Structure 1
Amino acid sequence: MLQTPSLSIIVAVYNGEQFLAQFFDNIIQQTLTHFEMIVVNDGSTDKSAEIIESYRSSFETFRVFTIENQGVSAARNHGLSQATGKYLAFPDIDDNIHPGMYQKLLEMAETNSLDVATCNGRYVYEDSDKSKIIFPPERLSSTEVLSGDVWLKQALESRKFLHVTWLNIYNHDFIRRHNFSFEPGLRHQDIPWTTEILLAADRVQYTSDIFYDYLIHSNSVSHKTDGDATEVRSAHHYMKILRMLDDINHRYPEKVAKVPACKWQIAKEGLGILHTVDKIKDPALKKKLVEEIFQQGIWSLMWRNANTFRLRWRLGRRYFKLRKLISG
């Protein structure tokens, strides 16, 4: 009988030729046994396919799928549908994974029957020696096993929590049981994904050990800009995220009642949309976006969920400026 892989490492690749060698070398240095490497080539047009193939012999189980370009969520979902491992990981190819990361998370998960095992990381800045710890230890320290909502409460209240998949491994049966998947075509889809997973999870554990370097660089989709068009697209993505977070809160009312920050984060992410409005230079585009914010109920959603005096004050001081923009 074939042994079930301990871990399925699922990675989406789109035009990643400059990062792939380091990424695969990072995985090799994990010295994992009985795991599967699942690579989803999301319609790359560079030499990614050739580099991927050159690493096939480096892994015991190396599965490659090529799909038409549909974005990271669709690629992850495709990999998820093919995965057979007991646990799942979703690293990004342009980051640095420290040796021992997956061994440590698997040990935590197996020892304590976790739904989610998670660790700390660093922001590393391109062309700079600067780095910054993602979760400062004085804000978030290692935990025992917690229910997901308790961990989410602690994490959000630290005001330093980052909604990402790549610091975590997930119990595959837990993901199957809840039929979780990534939202196709949505940038920053990790925000609703992480929120719902933690509200649903019964057993979560965090180690403050730093195992992952998140590279902030100019080639990242998250950090590219092409002016007003980018800002408007970003605002539309975040408007959808706010609606998704609101739907999630309604699916888990008892747990959300114990985690006030679930509402706080809707208003907080909404403030990000208002900052995006400020960046738009074209008056007509700016006016249209503000009209959408009111007409589609986004403003009401932000205001209803602004559950602190500071948030209400920050939103309130913007209200009349926004109304003036669309009445002129």
Structure 2
Amino acid sequence: MISIVIPVYNAAKFLGECLSNIQRQTLNDFECLLVNDGSTDSSLEICKETAANDSRFKVVDQPNSGAAGARATGARAATRRYVCFIDADDIIHPEFLETLLAASNDCPPGHIVSSEICPYQDGERPAFSVSSGPNSRQDRLSALSSLLYQKSVNGVVAKLYPRVLISESDFRGDVVIGEDLIQNLESVKRAEGIVSEASRLYAYRLHASSSIRNASAESHVKLLCYLEEQKSELPELRNALDNRIFAESMFATLETDFMKNHKRGSSLTGKLISNIERTRKVVVKDPDSRYEYRLLAAASFVHPLLPRFLMTLRSSLRRSPGGI
């Protein structure tokens, strides 16, 4: 019933635990596609050994193309009705697949099913929880709105997608920042909605190299262009899109190359500042905006780079002894 897709890149330290958790699933009807994305450690050998001992696991080896490219390869090779993406350094509860499949069977066709994610520090036990409470359901427009307002997780993990909702064009390997958001928005646009399973069954491991990118202010541009393009396709969500454009433009100013480019008067930094000035009034007035974004948008009326200073100061205080 389920095709699991795991992008694997230099994950030897954690891969064995991830795969053994999948082998212990209470649901046996799955295939697991291990897409080795040009690893230079022993990841490929671990994948091959697992596949040799368990026919449910299949190895696809390819040159490095990034997580989105590896997921695209896995999705193309998937043969089951549903597709589930798992990261190679994360672990899942033994009932993860069974619970998500049951939730999918209980809802109308065309819905994506999502589980709660529990972050945990490497070396600690994840705080899994199995809930007996009712699942919540959002229609397509509400689900898209939640993604844009960051009221739901942008990640593609911890979700069960009907395979028919996934398209090759969803996987934007050319986007450094926000490829998960784009994939989810595109899939949800084809879906009837999202069903949220209240259980916490997916554990996201926090460690030294998790979610670290060599990002630049310019790396945000393609995501910002994509969001701007969506206004013609999703006119009902213009406020939500402006909210996300404000947030992404604001965070882009935190990248290490921003001030250097700003001092040189680059068109990129001018575009980011223009985005902040253009969308801040929407953010301040929109009751669905996150409270902290409304405060930062209000601060930008004093100076468009004041939010950057405030976010940098807040981060510095959090790192200092006794900081907030």
Of residues 115, 118, 122 in structure 2, which corresponds to 1:119?
115
Structure 2: distance between partners of 1:290 and 1:191? 27
Q: Is the 8 A contact 1:114 1:205 kept in 2?
A: no
After superposition, give the CA deviation of every residue in 1:239-258 in whole Å (9 maximum; x if it has no partner).
Answer: 2211112223322224x25x
Q: Is the 8 A contact 2:82 2:163 kept in 1?
A: yes
Of residues 274, 287, 292 in structure 1, which corresponds to 2:268?
292
Structure 2: distance between partners of 1:104 and 1:249? 36
Of residues 65, 81, 95 in structure 2, which corresponds to 1:100?
95
In structure 2, the gaps of 5 or more residues are 285-293, 308-324
1:146 partner letter: Q
Structure 2: distance between partners of 1:53 and 1:218? 26
1:117 partner letter: V
Structure 2: distance between partners of 1:284 and 1:270? 16
Of residues 221, 234, 238 in structure 2, which corresponds to 1:252?
234
Equivalence for 2:278:
304
Q: TM-score, normalised by structure 1?
A: 0.78
1:238 partner letter: H
Deviation at 1:143, TM superposition (A): 4.3
1:219 partner letter: S
Equivalence for 2:28:
33
Equivalence for 2:310:
none
1:316 aligns to 2:301 (yes or no)? yes
- Are the structure 2 counterparts of residues 50 and 288 from structure 1 closer, same or farther at C-alpha, using a change threshold of 3 Å? farther
1:218 aligns to 2:200 (yes or no)? no
The secondary structure found in structure 2 opposite 1:145 is strand
Deviation at 1:11, TM superposition (A): 0.9
Equivalence for 2:315:
none
Q: Is the 8 A contact 2:158 2:202 kept in 1?
A: yes
2:139 partner letter: S
1:273 aligns to 2:252 (yes or no)? yes
Equivalence for 2:72:
77
Equivalence for 2:288:
none
Equivalence for 2:166:
175
Q: Is the 8 A contact 1:43 1:69 kept in 2?
A: yes
Identity score, percent: 25
Q: Is the 8 A contact 2:36 2:60 kept in 1?
A: yes
Structure 2: distance between partners of 1:156 and 1:244? 12
Measured on the aligned residues, the alpha-carbon RMSD in Å equals: 2.9
After superposition, give the CA deviation of every residue in 1:173-224 in whole Å (9 maximum; x if it has no partner).
Answer: 1224xx542111433411222233334421320012101111121122x226
Structure 1: distance between partners of 2:151 and 2:194? 18
Equivalence for 1:198:
188
Deviation at 1:313, TM superposition (A): 1.8
Structure 2: distance between partners of 1:292 and 1:175? 32
1:236 aligns to 2:218 (yes or no)? yes
- Are the structure 2 counterparts of residues 68 and 156 from structure 1 closer, same or farther at C-alpha, using a change threshold of 3 Å? closer
Q: Is the 8 A contact 1:108 1:117 kept in 2?
A: yes
Q: Is the 8 A contact 2:299 2:306 kept in 1?
A: no
Structure 2: distance between partners of 1:119 and 1:78? 24
1:242 partner letter: L
- Are the structure 2 counterparts of residues 274 and 315 from structure 1 closer, same or farther at C-alpha, using a change threshold of 3 Å? farther
After superposition, give the CA deviation of every residue in 1:159-184 in whole Å (9 maximum; x if it has no partner).
Answer: 553210002111111224xx542111
1:275 partner letter: L
Q: Is the 8 A contact 2:114 2:158 kept in 1?
A: yes
The secondary structure found in structure 1 opposite 2:254 is helix
- Are the structure 2 counterparts of residues 321 and 204 from structure 1 closer, same or farther at C-alpha, using a change threshold of 3 Å? closer
Deviation at 1:288, TM superposition (A): 4.5
Q: How many residues align?
A: 291
